Structure 1
Amino acid sequence: MPDNPKALTPSLRPGEGRLAHAPADHPPVKPAKVGVLISNLGTPDSPDYWPMRRYLSEFLSDQRVIDYPRWKWQPLLQLIILSKRPFSSGANYRKIWNEERGESPLMTITRDQTRALSEALAARYGDCVMVDFCMRYGNPSTASKVREMVAAGVEKLLFFPLYPHYAGATSATANDAVFRALMAEKRQPALRTVPEYFDHPAYIEALAGSVEAAWAKLERKPDMLLASYHGMPKRYLMAGDPYHCQCQKTTRLLRERLGWAERAIQTTFQSVFGPEEWLQPYTVKHVAELARAGKKRIAVIAPAFSADCIETLEEIQGEIQEAFLHAGGEEFTYIPCLNDAPAHIAALSQVIEANLAGWLD
């Protein structure tokens, strides 16, 4: 608990929600809180055509994601790509859709992560911290959650893009969204954004624990572990985006923590989009090459994803697994994302607590 939680809270008239020294017609004032708002990529509201199209249009119109000139890209996107892709993407989402809750797995897992983090931070700080989540694309939007937090009395806001590695197309665009949201607020809270945590010891420990748990369940150990990260155009790296280097460091730290030989883990990149060259090796091609080279049993982990989503549940366990088996592979093991595992929540809590220093102690 903080030494003096009440120091965060203005003096209110009991039961009135008004400052003790304020006149009777003063608008109600909420007790001051610190907000922690975690952000993930996003999800369509349903896998049907129009919700899918709205989601893809918002996502693919973001110039941090696709940085082609708008006059060239938007006609191609709106008239050609979005006339077809919502059908194929919707079909892929249907394969993994959480029918019981009526939402995507990413939404389910992010909500569970938020609940677990809220409980962990309440145990540490009491009720002066408000924890919630938003999505960069789709619902709940960043702007709507910032509005809710301000209305609830949040005067200091910690914004946490839930990406271990920094990239302009992930962390930066999430931060852009919260900056824009604050432009609409009369009373802006103080804001901090959480930086990447790709080399945080607790994050590496959580990854290693998930690998060790997976290995313990297998009768025959894989010949190779692939750390498959979401890809990006190679020119982003050449322009100074640190994502590629951070991914390589995570793989190295994971290997060192496991005590494995250098070639026991390899870094690859997935989810290639468009005609230009992306970061290589491409996961879908590399698994086939491994199978043809005699690596008949492999495992894949996705360290860049904080929660299982379409890229892991459908792409890795669908397209990438099929490429491996079709090329002669025999056993394919996917190691799930850290999701709401206790070790992951503990790691995220440590990151949050470090970034709350000075606001809460």
Structure 2
Amino acid sequence: MPDAPKRPTHAPADHPALPGEKVGILLANLGTPDNYDYWSMRRYLSEFLSDQRVIDYPKWKWQPLLQMVILSKRPFTSGAAYKSIWNHEAGESPLMTITKQQSAKIAETMRQHYGDRVMVDHAMRYGNPSTKSRLRAMIDAGCRKILFFPLYPQYAGATTATANDAFFRALMDEKWQPATRTVPPYFDQPAYIDALAQSVERTYDGLQTRPDILVCSYHGLPIRYLTEGDPYHCQCQKTTRLLKERLGWEDAAITTTFQSQFGPEEWLQPYTVQEVARLAKQGKTNIAVCAPAFSADCIETLEEINEEIKDSFVAAGGQTFTYIPCLNDDDAHISALTQIIDENLQGWLS
């Protein structure tokens, strides 16, 4: 058990007791609505789509459209999609369930490494638990050093940067700020690539017929973001290349695509939903799809890939569609994440 709060040595008798100093590890993922009803979905979507890292149009132009048009309809369709994948037993989204599992496993590994000197928790960029609330809880528990870990393998302004923004904004409200570090993207870390490869090999070993091609489907971004300097596209391409090399495959056995387009702009291509149809028409009627940009299964994988993208493939003549789950709380994934954490804790803990 952690030490009880104590009055600092040599402090006056009226000095408040303070908890023992710890190092905090705060894992961060995208977010989740509290429920799939209209108002829960509207609150979540409003926070998400109001983030100018995600939608960078001028507020005077975007907010009236968002609040009066998009959010009058989209909470219904998004709510239905969430309902189809919801963890009804736990009363939460799969992303929340999986993030809790990841956090618990990482916490146990850290306890084995460092005892009670480390505290592990998780937060969401949008929705609950908020980054601000979890940072405050860590400071209250005595964390004088905090490692903030956005769980996005590839960097993007709309994911990693906005998670860091929320963390830094929360720090602005603290009288006594802890020392902090942020974990950089890990798209090319050998342990992460190996965990991806193991998940592919395990799935392929269980199939009667080997897929004609593996589609690595990444979340999309407007092409404009790439031309403005965002490295996401290049990092996605490198992840696929390193996965191919680790698997020992030929170029034709694997491809990179992008999903989840939104709005009128041109996004990174090829679009997954169109590419799987093209592959089926070309005679590649047996495919597998994985999602290397997602650290945990969520609405974009469980609903979009397994339903919309799969339907596009089957409608074009596809026969066998295999979805390879995200790494989630797989032991190889947890090992990779804890290795990255250990590397970023250097100098803070022995």
Same-fold status (TM-score > 0.5): yes
Describe the SS at the equivalent of 1:225.
Answer: strand
Is 1:297 aligned with 2:286?
Answer: yes
The corresponding residue for 1:285 is 274
Partners of 2:4 and 2:176 lie apart in 1 by 23
Aligned to 1:110: 99
Distance of 2:300 and 2:341 partners within structure 1: 26
| Alignment partner, residue 276 of structure 1 | 265
Give the aligned partner of residue 144 of structure 2: 155
Structure 1 match to 2:297: 308
SS at match of 1:188: coil
Contact 2:217-2:257 within 8 A present in 1 as well = yes
Do the aligned partners of residues 127 and 291 (structure 1) sit closer, same or farther apart at CA in structure 2, a change above 3 Å counting? same
- Equivalent residues of 2:4, 2:19 under 8 A apart: no
Tell me the amino acid that sits aligned with residue 291 of structure 1.
A
Find the partner of 2:328 among 307, 314, 339.
339
1:96-142 Cα deviation digits (max 9, x unpaired)? 00000000000000000000000011111111000000000000000
User: Over residues 40-97 of structure 1, what are the superposed CA-to-partner deviations in whole Å (9 max), with x where a residue is unaligned?
Assistant: 0000000000010000000000000000000000000000000000000000000000
Once the 2 structures are TM-superposed, how far is the Cα of residue 360 of structure 1 from its aligned partner? 1.1
One of 174, 177, 183 as aligned partner of 1:188: 177
TM norm structure 1: 0.96
CA distance in 1, matches of 2:230, 2:106: 30
CA distance in 1, matches of 2:50, 2:324: 32
Q: Does 1:76 align with 2:54?
A: no
Over 3 Å counting, the alpha-carbon distance change for 1:16 and 1:176 in structure 2 is: closer
Secondary structure of the structure 2 residue equivalent to 1:343: helix
SS at match of 1:112: helix
Matches within 5 A, 1:78-93: 78-93=67-82
Partners of 1:146 and 1:302 in 2: how far apart?
Answer: 29
> CA–CA distance in 2 between the matches of 1:224 and 1:241?
28
Mapped to 2, the partners of 1:64 and 1:298 lie a distance apart of 34
**Which residue identity lines up with residue 309 of structure 1 in the other structure?**
C
- Number of aligned residue pairs: give it: 349
1:289 counterpart SS class: helix
Equivalence map 1:199-214=2 (5 Å): 199-214=188-203
Could you tell me how far 1:20 is from its partner in structure 2? Answer: 2.0
**Compared CA separation, residues 15 and 94, structure 1 to 2 (3 A):** closer
Unaligned 5+ segments in structure 1 are: 1-8
The yes-or-no answer on 1:245 pairing with 2:234 is yes
1:178 is aligned to 167
Counterpart code for 2:310: Q
In structure 2, which of residues 34, 59, 80 is the aligned counterpart of residue 45 of structure 1? 34
Give the alignment's TM-score, normalised by structure 2: 0.99
Aligned-residue RMSD, C-alpha: 1.0
**Equivalence for 1:353:** 342
Alpha-carbon distance between aligned partners in 2 of 1:331 and 1:46, rounded to the nearest angstrom: 33
Matched with 1:95 is 84
Aligned to 1:136: 125
Quick one: distance in 2 between partners of 1:15 and 1:349? 27
Report the AA paired with residue 322 of structure 2: T
Report Cα offsets for 1:294-333 as digits up to 9, x if no partner: 0010000000000000000000000000000000000000
Structure 1 runs of 4+ aligned residues shifted over 4 Å read: none
Kindly provide the amino acid, as one letter, of the partner of residue 171 in structure 1.
T
One-letter code aligned to 1:77: L
In structure 1, how many angstroms separate the alpha carbons of the residues matched to 2:349 and 2:323? 39
Is 1:21 matched with 2:10?
yes
SS of alignment partner, residue 145 of structure 2 = strand
Match of 2:114 among 116, 119, 125: 125
Instruction: Give the conservation status (yes or no) of the 8 Å contact 2:5–2:19.
Output: no
Are the counterparts in 1 of residues 27 and 121 from structure 2 also a CA contact under 8 Å?
yes
In the TM superposition, what whole-angstrom CA distance separates every residue of 1:133-155 from its partner, at most 9, and x where no partner exists? 00000000000000000000000
What SS does the corresponding residue of 2:133 show, helix, strand or coil? helix
Counterpart AA for 1:279 = L
Distance 1:24 1:310 in 2: 54
The secondary structure found in structure 2 opposite 1:133 is strand
Q: Paired residue for 1:317?
A: 306
Q: 1:260 aligned to 234, 240, 249, which one?
A: 249
Given residue 136 of structure 1, which amino acid in structure 2 is its aligned partner?
R
SS in 1 for 2:180: strand
